[in-house]
Amino acid sequence: MKRLLSVAAVLMAAMLWGTTGTVQSVLPADREPLAVGVLRLVFGAIFLISLALANAQSRSGFATLPKRGVFLAGAAIGGYNLLFFYAVAIAGVGVGTAITIGSAPIWATLWETLTQRKLPDRVRLIGQAASIIGVALLGLAGGAEGGNSFGVILALGSGACYACYSLATSQLTAAAHTNTIAAATFSVAAILTLPALAFVPLGWIDGQAILGLVFLGFVATGVAYALYTWGLTQVAASTAVTLALAEPVTAWLLATFFVGEPLSTQSVIGAILILCGLVVVTAFPAVTRET
C-alpha cells in the first residue's frame, strides 16, 4: 500500500509539472525562458524551506544531511533547468522536450544496471520503451522544429541531470525527512543558478507574471518536488523518472482542451503508449536478472 501511495505521489508530481507549459502561456510574450527557470527554482526553494521549517522533525533533519549528496542533487536539478531551457530554445520545444524527458529513464536504468549489476525485468523494459516512444510521438506531433546537434546534446545532458537528481535524492531518503531533503537540494539549485539573472532581461515581470511565477514555484515546483521526493522512498529512481513521463500527457491534455491546440492521431497514439508503458512499469518494479 505504501508503494502504491508513493507511485501515486510521483504521478501527481508529474501532473503538476505538466501544468508548466499552460501557465507559461499566460506569462508576457517577451518573457525570458531562462529567467523563468531560475525564478521557478527560487520560489520553489522558498516554499520547500517554509514547509520544512513548519515541522520539528524536518527542522532537525538539516543537521544530519550528507553535504555531498545534497550538493550533487541540487547541482543536478539546477543543471536540468538551465540545460532544458537552452535545449528547447535551440532544438525546438518538441524535440528538446521529447529528448530530455525520454532520455531520463534510459540514463537512470543504465546507471542502476551498472552499479547493481542486475538487469530490469524484460517486461518492465518493454514498458519503459513504450513510454519513451510515446513521448517522442507526442513531442513531435504536428511537426516540430528540426533543431541542431548541439541542441540535442543539451537535451541529452538535461535528461542526464534529471536522472542524476533522482538517483542522488533516492540515496538521501534514509538520512532525513523528505521535506528537509527537498528544501536543501532546491536551496542549493537556487543559489547556483541565481547569478544567471544578471545576464537576462527582467523588464517583462509585472503583476500577472509574478502570479504565474508564484504558481510555477510554489505548486508546479515546490508541491510537486515534495511529492516526488517522498515517492522516491518506496520506488526506484528509474521507476520514478519513467512514471514522470505522465508529465507530457498532462501538458498535452491541457494544451488540447484549454489552450485549443489541434488534436492529431499521432499525439493520441503517443499518449496511449505512455499510459500503457506506465502501467507496465508500475506492475513490474523489481530488478531481477543478473548481468
Q: What is the mean pLDDT of the chain?
A: 86
Q: How far apart are CA 117 and CA 114, in angstroms?
A: 5
Residue whose C-alpha cell is 539573472: 197
Q: Is pLDDT above 60 for 173?
A: yes
Residue closest to 173 by CA, chosen among 222, 234, 217: 234
Residues 6+ apart with CB under 8 A from 9: 227, 228, 230, 231
For 16-48, the pLDDT digits (tens) are: 988 887 787 788 888 888 899 899 999 999 999
pTM of the predicted protein model: 0.84
Q: Is pLDDT above 60 for 67?
A: yes
137: domain range?
A: 2-290
Q: How many degrees, rounded to 5, is the angle at CA 102 between CA 214 and CA 84?
A: 40
- The total domain count for the chain is 1
| Nine-digit cell string for 214 | 508564484
For 219-235, the pLDDT digits (tens) are: 999 999 999 999 999 88
Residue 147's pLDDT is 54
Helix (H) or strand (E) holding 77: helix 67-91
Q: Give me the DSSP letters along 141-176.
A: TT------HHHHHHHHHHHHHHHHHHHHHHHHTTTS
